[in-house]
Amino acid sequence: MTVEIRVPALGESLTTATVARWLKKSGDYVQHDETIVELETDKVSVEVTAPSAGRLEDCVAVGTEVEIGGLLGAVDETAEAPAVPESAPVAEAPAEPAAAPSAPEPVAAPAHVTPPAPEKPKPAAVAPALQSSSPKLSSHEARERRVPMSRLRQTIARNLKAAQNTAAILTTFNEIDMSAAKALRAEYKEEFEKKHDGARLGFMSFFARAVVGALKDYPAINAQIEGDEIVYRDFVNLGIAVGTERGLVVPVLHDADQMSFAELERRIADYGKRARTGGLKLEELSHGTFSITNGGIFGSLLSTPILNTPQSGILGMHAIQDRPVVRDGQIVIRPMMYVALSYDHRIVDGREAVSFLVRIKQLVEDPRRLLLDL
């Protein structure tokens, strides 16, 4: 009996996918529930497993666009599983290696035989005066590679361009003294990790908690425009941008305003790991209300992040760098980070945006405020 392999349900608003790669090829024997093909959608990769054990047949070509319920291939259940090869017997080594044959002695040439004189090389033909002696360079086309854009990359390109076309994007900047956050992290990171089952205390959780607090004070930055209405939210679904080999994805911490430091750290670490292996679920990439992107992990000192539409704000973190600053009239060295807030000026006024970023600065520079909700 032959069992068809069909495209599974892909999730909300997704109706098609592209065959990204086959982990098995036609003719291979597959086991029941073994992952055999990977589909790429606009947001996530979807793995499809074998519906039964048997021989894989009629695989749809890589790059083919398929719809939900579409045919991907088939499994022939009547095919027999390949026999497991028996271990080959170990050959015994010979007791004594055979002697190598002796090389024949050279035969001396007779004394009266004179070897022929070598021929004199003929003079090379003179090249015409107009003929170039330098090698011909290859064309630029011969040194180019053309690779089709993945569906994820196409979606990223579409969304970024849509953000520029629809939103009135403006960016404001500030800088944060990370001294107190670094000291607190250094003092408690080992105890924090032991108490919370290996969850590491990083700087992202400080900024996540600071964003949650600041959004309560400035709700327009957590809102979005729908038609001629503004939708305000009393919850925070916080997107954390993650760079992967396939492109940028933004998994969402749903109800981040209800999470502790430890839960934030655990979820952020888990999302980062699964984003890089393609293991995120569609619902984990949906319904974000505000985003954070950290270019500092790649060494970025300053940037102007683009909105993740239809959101109205995104916070850009950057590298921590020791810089001279003035404190109480004295020039001192402090670990400083530039931060950037890009926002939709259609819904967020400049006063709100600047005040929001100042609030982030206050909370991170004095982390006790995060614990006391001040």
Segment 263-267 long-range contacts (CB within 8 Å, at least 24 positions apart): 264/204, 264/205, 264/208, 264/209, 265/196, 265/199, 265/200, 265/201, 265/202, 265/204, 265/205, 266/196, 266/199
Is 349 part of the annotated catalytic residue set?
yes
Residues 159, 146: Cα–Cα separation, whole Å: 23
Residue in 58, 76, 270, 345 annotated catalytic? 345
Distance of alpha carbon 291 from alpha carbon 297, whole angstroms: 16
Candidates 203, 227, 185, 252; CA nearest to 347 is: 227
Element (DSSP H or E) covering residue 172: strand 169-177
Helix (H, G, I), strand (E, B) or coil at 230: strand
Q: Which residue is it, tokens 């033909």?
A: 125
Q: In this structure, how many other beta carbons lie within 10 angstroms of the beta carbon of residue 213?
A: 19
3-state secondary structure string across 21-37 = EECCCCCCEECCCCEEE
**Per-residue buried b or exposed e for 94-105, using 16+ beta carbons within 10 Å of the residue's own CB:** eeeeeeeeeeee
User: Which is catalytic among the residues 255, 349, 366, 373?
Assistant: 349
**217 is annotated as an active-site residue:** no
Residue 172 CA to chain centroid, in angstroms? 27
**Orientation angle between helical segments 203-217 and 179-195, nearest 10 degrees:** 110
Phi and psi angles of residue 6, each rounded to the nearest 5 degrees, phi first:
-115, 155
Quote the CA–CA distance of 61 and 268 in Å, as a whole number: 36
Residues annotated as catalytic (active site), given as ranges: 345, 349
